A and B are shown apart, each in its own frame.
Chain A
């Protein structure tokens, strides 16, 4: 295994473990305030130090990982759940009005960056982690639809698909039984990329107050609260930022490794 994907798997695995572990255990209660211990630098008692309310930053970062990953995961599920069937439909009905409508609809949603969707949703229904999931998820739909359609089109002209048609199978059944397994690898890679983008988007939304709301810990909200403390106690801002960078870096390296492993053409090109 090359160093990049191995490092990526290790970083992503670490973040995922912290997120899962935080559901059962954190060194301190992530919301516990101890004003007497405020803005402590990293030490034996508090490995990542404390924030301006004396809360343990390691505990908050672990709980924040859970929020970030949950939002990004649900957003990927929304994107795949809607985007993949739409892409399969467009590929099966390639060149028809159905294909045109699906793809133009995708182009339309693509004109709305996830933050803009979140702004619209927040303006109407108010800010929450759930609305962040929906906003990022909607943005993921056209991405998965395009990737699915693009990957499915070349498979549709292969001989064994023609054989399946001759055998009497309908477009829907062929899409599920033959096309989907063929493009699953590519979809997994795209899911990894969208998952890492989802973590960045969730952090951005929470940072501006459109994502997770207090008392739910989130990396983005930790950074928003740290903004005025950055000159006084840089660790308060540096640590949540590093959590985001290392997790996203890990997922991207892992995604690259998976892509190389699943696409033999890329291995040759390297």
Chain B
């Protein structure tokens, strides 16, 4: 198992390094140079020179990349050109909204998908299965931001049960969690639909295996065999999808935060784009991509835990 973990860690490390180089290079491609891009055409020459020096444009590209990466490894993402504050602090503050939102959506997606997938697999090719899978088809086709607007219309505007947007901060945990319910639901539903379909097809495939027949022959009911044996073996494809979904949830959260005016990483990115604050965009994108790579690493480790054969592969 240790060799397996070490191998996955090397893969993760090299992916992070390559991603950081890619992000750094893309920002270098701005018309002119990053300093003149951020300041615009009307900038004073001395201001331009000062910014060029601040972001190290007077040094060779490779040296700048090494310095940027070295600083990030020490937790220093640089200073926001617009707000003149350390970007690491800004990201940490915004993650307090984005991360709970993504995790809440993921938990909700699993909580919705698990019973639907199990139910559909147990009722395979019957009316209940057809209805459940038809509903998931609809869920997959739903743009989450449109669903968010409908949720606001019904639960905030008409029924007045939940807030339409904004975030009160974690000083009042109940109000904070309440303000995340609609955004998390909007994010979770399309993902739950995908997850339920994958779970159902993985379970159906597993239920045809010989060891399930043996379990049935030993006296287990179909439901017991499904829950005790098939579910664990159907987890591999489900884990793959869960890992991929985290990346979609993070990306989706960027849009959903804008629907609900949540002060998360997504809104910060859009504000930074409007303000041409390239350093903030670069750092925030790196954090998002690093999160996706880290989740992929965790999913690979989970594969090893769920299926011991993969550790030897």
Cα separation A123 to B272 with both chains bound (whole Å) = 9
CB-defined contacts of B212 to chain A, threshold 8 Å: none
State which of A33-41, A154-162, A174-182, A240-248 sits at the interface with chain B. Answer: A240-248
Evaluate contact between B141 and A252: CB separation under 8 angstroms.
Answer: yes
Given A111-B19, A231-B153, A119 and B255 contact (CB-CB distance below 8 Å)? no
Partner of B251, one of A114, A120, A237: A114
Whether, in the assembled complex, B161 has its beta carbon less than 8 Å from a beta carbon of chain A, the answer is no
Quick one: CB contact mask for A103-133 with B, threshold 8 Å, 1 for yes? 0100110111111100111111100000000
Closest-by-CB residue of B relative to A109 is B22
Closest-by-CB residue of A relative to B21 is A108
State which of A43-51, A69-77, A201-209 sits at the interface with chain B. Answer: A201-209
State which of B25-33, B52-60, B169-177, B228-236 sits at the interface with chain A. Answer: B25-33
Cα separation A31 to B143 with both chains bound (whole Å) = 24
Grouping DSSP codes into helix (H, G, I), strand (E, B) and loop, the B interface class, with mixed when no group exceeds half, is helix
Given A123-B281, A231-B157, A270-B125, A241 and B146 contact (CB-CB distance below 8 Å)? yes
Partner of B15, one of A107, A209, A238, A241: A107
Closest-by-CB residue of B relative to A223 is B146
Closest-by-CB residue of B relative to A107 is B15
Whether, in the assembled complex, B192 has its beta carbon less than 8 Å from a beta carbon of chain A, the answer is no
Partner of B149, one of A113, A121, A227: A227
Cα separation A83 to B142 with both chains bound (whole Å) = 27
Evaluate contact between A241 and B150: CB separation under 8 angstroms.
Answer: yes
Evaluate contact between A119 and B285: CB separation under 8 angstroms.
Answer: yes
Given A204-B255, A227-B149, A113 and B248 contact (CB-CB distance below 8 Å)? yes
Whether, in the assembled complex, A63 has its beta carbon less than 8 Å from a beta carbon of chain B, the answer is no
Evaluate contact between B137 and A252: CB separation under 8 angstroms.
Answer: yes
CB-defined contacts of B27 to chain A, threshold 8 Å: 120, 123-124
Evaluate contact between B270 and A208: CB separation under 8 angstroms.
Answer: yes
Closest-by-CB residue of B relative to A249 is B141
Cα separation A107 to B300 with both chains bound (whole Å) = 13
Cα separation A212 to B153 with both chains bound (whole Å) = 26
Whether, in the assembled complex, A184 has its beta carbon less than 8 Å from a beta carbon of chain B, the answer is no
Expressed in whole angstroms, the minimum distance between the Cβ of B241 and any Cβ of chain A is 14
Cα separation A104 to B12 with both chains bound (whole Å) = 11
CB-defined contacts of A269 to chain B, threshold 8 Å: 204-205, 208
Whether, in the assembled complex, B293 has its beta carbon less than 8 Å from a beta carbon of chain A, the answer is yes
Quick one: CB contact mask for A251-268 with B, threshold 8 Å, 1 for yes? 011000000000000000
Evaluate contact between B269 and A111: CB separation under 8 angstroms.
Answer: no
Whether, in the assembled complex, A6 has its beta carbon less than 8 Å from a beta carbon of chain B, the answer is no
Cα separation A241 to B147 with both chains bound (whole Å) = 8
Evaluate contact between A253 and B269: CB separation under 8 angstroms.
Answer: no
Interface residues in A88-116 (C-beta closer than 8 Å to B)? 104, 107-108, 110-116
Quick one: CB contact mask for A177-196 with B, threshold 8 Å, 1 for yes? 00000000000000000001
Cα separation A240 to B143 with both chains bound (whole Å) = 11
Evaluate contact between B149 and A237: CB separation under 8 angstroms.
Answer: yes
Quick one: CB contact mask for A142-183 with B, threshold 8 Å, 1 for yes? 000000000000000000000000000000000000000000
Given A108-B22, A113-B292, A120-B285, A223 and B145 contact (CB-CB distance below 8 Å)? yes
Closest-by-CB residue of A relative to B22 is A108
Quick one: CB contact mask for B25-67 with A, threshold 8 Å, 1 for yes? 0110111000000000000000000000000000000000000
Other 17 A-B pairs with CB < 8 A, given A249-B138, A269-B208: A104-B18, A107-B15, A108-B22, A111-B296, A116-B285, A119-B254, A120-B285, A123-B278, A207-B255, A208-B258, A227-B149, A230-B149, A237-B146, A237-B153, A244-B143, A249-B141, A270-B125
Which residues of chain B have a CB within 8 Å of any CB of chain A? 11, 14-15, 18-19, 22-23, 26-27, 29-31, 125, 137-138, 140-146, 149-150, 152-153, 157, 204-205, 208, 247-248, 250-252, 254-255, 258-259, 269-270, 272-273, 278, 281, 285, 288-289, 292-293, 296
Closest 3 CB pairs of A and B: A113-B251, A241-B146, A248-B141
